[in-house]
Amino acid sequence: NPCHNGGVCYSIWDDFTCTCPPNTAGKACEEVKWCELEPCPPEAQCQLVHQGFECLANAVFSGRSSAIFYRSNGKISRDLTNIMFGFRTRDTDVILLYAEKEPEFVTISIHNSKLLFQLQSGNSFYKLTLASSLPVNDGKWHRVMVSMVEPLSQFSRWYIDIDNKKDTATSTTAVGSLNFLREETDIYVADKAFDSLDGLRGCMSTIEISGIYLSYFESTDIPTKKPQEEQFLKISANPALTGCLQVDICSSYPCMNEGVCEDFYTSYRCICPEGWTGTHCEVNIDECSSDPCIHGNCTDRITSYECSCEPGYTGVNCEEDIDNCRGHQCANGATCVDGINGYSCLCAGNFTGRFCRY
């Protein structure tokens, strides 16, 4: 039966035709429209690749504990001549990708806020280094491609392209390809083993190496088995946290009243100044809610309050009874008795009257 994937064959003279099941195409039903089968988790995007599909997503990394690593499945035959990925972070010095099979190695890192690409490959003992001219740790999304200038050659100059030729650099010398990654070589993402630096704190897209992706998903996350022969397999057991946002939400200044926006890459938080609260620091804290004015009315201010005291009281919280006997007019040895907003005279002997004058 020349028809693949369950196609039904019909003879027509000296040829044949296939009636293909849904989601397949081609004369012999050999092309499977994998993405129409919706094989990926809801948060992922399905991407067709040679002989199969891949599930793409952005992942958030929060230091060394979230770093992951990969290894070839031993069936990669194509030449590996480029790496493409996107990221955003505020880290000044951190490893984004690292792999080594002595004496060959590749490193993509951020060093002193600049993107740094280092490669030693082939029979060359020369270490190629390319660096960006602009800083890349501004929390914004940056798209990176590093590639051989002449991918069909055994040795070639390399170039780096950041944000669609916004920042580029080309090496003056030539080294080999990334074919050493086809062998049993661990590829570390978001960290490097046994170094002193902390791992990446930020967001990174699915990394693509010459059309083969380093998927963040476990095989158990994908109900349909990936059919392509050439794969990089996730070896580390810790799961990747997907759902990272490409857009820096803080760039839209969501925090009001001089609140400080803290970017967590999947969400954000507003750190509010004194006197304000709420998700966006939009709520003025009511300092009058505790009824601080003992004998008066409270008026709320920003980070403070003001008491309007009842007659006869004073103080910040209207807690002091005003001594109305100060400067009193009680005569003839009378005793002044302080009252609220006034006083009375307790007369001595036979004296009478408001001020004991009669």
Q: pLDDT (tens digit, 9 = 90+) per residue, 245-263?
A: 888 888 889 999 999 998 8
> 47-68, pLDDT tens digit by residue?
999 888 999 999 999 888 888 9
3-state secondary structure of 34: helix
Task: Provide the pLDDT for residue 198.
Answer: 80
CA dihedral 264, 269, 273, 277 (to 10 degrees): -170
Task: Judge contact between 177 and 186, C-beta under 8 A.
Answer: no
One-letter amino acid for residue 125 of the chain: F
Model confidence at 193, pLDDT cuts 50, 70, 90, reads low
Instruction: Examine the pLDDT at 106 and tell me if it is beyond 70.
Output: yes
Residues 6+ apart with CB under 8 A from 75: 229, 230, 231
**pLDDT number for residue 212:** 96
DSSP 3-state of 278? coil
The pLDDT of residue 30: 85
- At residue 23, the pLDDT reads 83
- Average pLDDT in the 269-298 region? 93
Average pLDDT over residues 124-131: 88
Give the pLDDT confidence score for residue 194 in this predicted structure.
62
Percent of the chain scoring above 70 in pLDDT: 99
pLDDT of residue 87: 96
CB 48 within 8 Å of CB 35: yes
> Among residues 306, 321, 248, 271, which one has the least CA distance to residue 89?
248
Contacts of residue 18, defined as CB under 8 A and 6 or more positions apart, other chains included, come to 2, 3, 7, 8, 9, 10, 27, 28, 29
Is 2:18 a contact under the CB 8 Å cutoff? Answer: yes
**Domains of the chain in sequence order:** 1-32 (2.10.25.10), 46-242 (2.60.120.200), 249-284 (2.10.25.10), 324-358 (2.10.25.10)
pLDDT band, residue 265 (cuts 50/70/90)? confident
Q: Average of pLDDT values for 130-153?
A: 95
Average pLDDT rounded to a whole number, residues 154-179: 94
Residue 196 has pLDDT above 80, yes or no: no
pLDDT, mean of residues 63-79: 92
pLDDT > 80? residue 197: no
Tokens of 8: 């039904």
For 36, phi then psi, to 5°, come to: -70, -15
Interval 11-50: pLDDT, tens: 888 889 998 888 888 898 888 888 888 899 998 999 999 8
Report the alpha-carbon distance of residue 236 to residue 66 in Å, rounded: 10
pTM of the entire predicted model: 0.76
Beta pairing partners, 348: none
At 311 the pLDDT is 87
User: Would you say residue 108 has pLDDT above 70?
Assistant: yes
pLDDT score recorded for residue 110: 95
> How confident is the model over 263-276, as a mean pLDDT?
90
- Indicate whether 195 pLDDT > 80: no
Mean pLDDT of the chain: 91
250: CB partners within 8 A, 6+ apart: 139, 261, 262, 263, 268
What is the Cβ-side half-sphere exposure of residue 203, based on CA atoms within 13 angstroms? Answer: 22
CA separation for the pair 100, 109 (Å, rounded): 14
**Above 90 in pLDDT, residue 192?**
no
* Least reliable range by pLDDT among 149-163, 184-198, 278-292: 184-198
Mean pLDDT of 132-157: 95
Please, what is the Cα angle at 180 between 175 and 186, to 5 degrees? 125
* Cβ atoms within 10 Å, residue 283: 14
Q: Quick one: average pLDDT of 108-118?
A: 96
**pLDDT tens digits along 299-354:** 998 889 999 998 888 999 999 888 889 888 999 999 999 888 888 999 998 889 99
Going by C-beta distance under 8 Å and a sequence separation of 6 or more, which residues neighbour residue 17?
9, 10, 27
Do residues 110 and 92 touch, judged by C-beta distance below 8 A? yes
